[in-house]
Amino acid sequence: MAMKSPLSDWQLHCARSTVLAGGVLAYPTEAVWGLGCDPWDQDAVERILQLKQRPVKKGVILVASSVAQVAFLLDPLPKALQQEAERHWPGPVTCLLPDVKQQIPEWVRGQHSSIAVRVSDHPVVRALCEASGMPLVSTSCNPAGRQPARYIWQVRRYFGQELDWIVPGALGGNRNPSRIIDIVTGKQFR
């Protein structure tokens, strides 16, 4: 059964069109507002990094609506690692997956050999990924060194007219950004 989107058909159309045209979105996530775009559009990702004043070497997270959207990253991994990632999803846990076949561009992966991936249970995030037909870049909506935006007024204060669209919606109930776990070592980074 398909999930009911919290966004109207028009809002989903605007989000999809923005992503496919190389635009940058702000949208609510589980704990903070995020910035997102098409991860395979280098100009869009570089624009987010410039807005955030974040070096490309750090990399960014991919967020998906379902395990199926990131199956291409899981398939090359041993079954035990696939299962370890899947046991955290959907939910507010980001897993570091080895990018065995280097399927994710370096402007997303950064200097790392792994990619940070989250399958979200937030209804707006899921609707955006479904409407776009792909995982999206997901990084906190704030310039480097500033607090992540928890309110839409902070999104506007930080980035004003520099965003192509602000997706309406409410944050999830989490107080902290997603935990980050390396599925190979089990080490937790955040």
pLDDT digits (tens, 9 = 90+) for 101-141: 999 999 999 999 999 999 999 999 999 999 999 999 999 99
pLDDT category at 173 given cuts 50, 70, 90 is confident
This prediction has a pTM of 0.93
The pLDDT, as a whole number, for residue 45 is: 98
189 located within any domain = no
In a domain, 3, yes or no: no
Residue among 31, 52, 47, 57 at smallest CA distance from 142: 52
**pLDDT at 178 (0 to 100):** 77
Closest alpha carbon to 43 in 66, 24, 25, 27: 24
User: Domain tally for the chain?
Assistant: 1
We report the CATH number of the domain holding residue 29 as 3.90.870.10
Tell me the pLDDT tens digit for each residue of 46-75: 999 999 999 999 999 999 999 999 999 999
Query: According to the model, what pLDDT value does residue 16 have?
Result: 96
* Number of neighbouring beta carbons within 10 Å of residue 55: 11
Q: Which residue has the higher pLDDT, 78 or 173?
A: 78
In a domain, 127, yes or no: yes
Q: Report yes or no on 98 lying in a domain.
A: yes
Structural domain contains residue 2: no
Residue 3 pLDDT: 60
Domain membership flag for residue 190: no
151 backbone dihedrals φ, ψ, rounded to 5°: -135, 150
- Measured CA to CA, the distance from residue 42 to residue 120 in angstroms comes to 23
